[in-house]
Amino acid sequence: MAEKLKIATGDKEARYALLYEQMVAILAGEEDQVARMANAAAMIHHTFGFFWTGFYRVIGEELVLGPFQGPLACMRIRYGRGVCGTAWKERRSIVVPDVEKFPGHIACSTLSRSEIVVPMVRDEEVCGVLDIDSETLATFDETDRVWLEKIVAII
Ligand code: SME
């Protein structure tokens, strides 16, 4: 567990495959959800060098900021608001190639240009979301969606 994260240098598919394998090993035996989210955010973030990578947890009627890597972010997002609140409401992953074209997008930073949000589901309910922002347009595609859904399923 003390060893450094190996960062794959291949294509996106290869990077996710190694990331997933390492995440399974690193999260094994840790039951605390915040600890799991914290290391998952760090691993995803540093594998790809994203702008912002983090979790929001459903608490009551809002998403509340959880473990993340990157600059300061908004702390609470209401149900159905922004990309995160929409992913929660619609219970589906949302890939946003250009945040300026997403109605109601919440700009935590003006540097963010594209985004992906993947809901975390426990006992049929959304319990949080994984949110990743990129400084580049159209960073995320189906490969990201499929792998990130696989990743949130083990957190
Ligand atoms: N852009 C998100 C808000 C969270 S920040 O990107 C970290 C949204 O529209 O929900």
Give distance in angstroms: CA of 35 to centre of ligand 1: 22
- Per-residue pLDDT at 10: 75
CA neighbor of 84 nearest in space, from 68, 62, 100: 62
- For every one of its 155 residues, what pLDDT tens digit does the chain have, with 9 covering 90 and above? 545 666 666 799 999 999 999 999 999 999 999 999 999 999 999 999 999 999 999 999 999 999 999 999 999 999 999 999 999 999 999 999 999 999 999 999 999 999 999 999 999 999 999 999 999 999 999 999 999 999 999 99
Give distance in angstroms: CA of 84 to centre of ligand 1: 6
First to last CA, the chain: 17
Q: Which domains does the chain have, with CATH numbers?
A: 12-154 (3.30.450.40)
Helix/strand/coil for 140: coil
Contact (CB, 8 A) for 13 and 21: no
Give distance in angstroms: CA of 94 to centre of ligand 1: 12
Q: Would strands 125-134 and 76-78 be described as parallel, antiparallel, or unpaired?
A: unpaired
- Per-residue pLDDT at 99: 98
Contact (CB, 8 A) for 131 and 117: yes
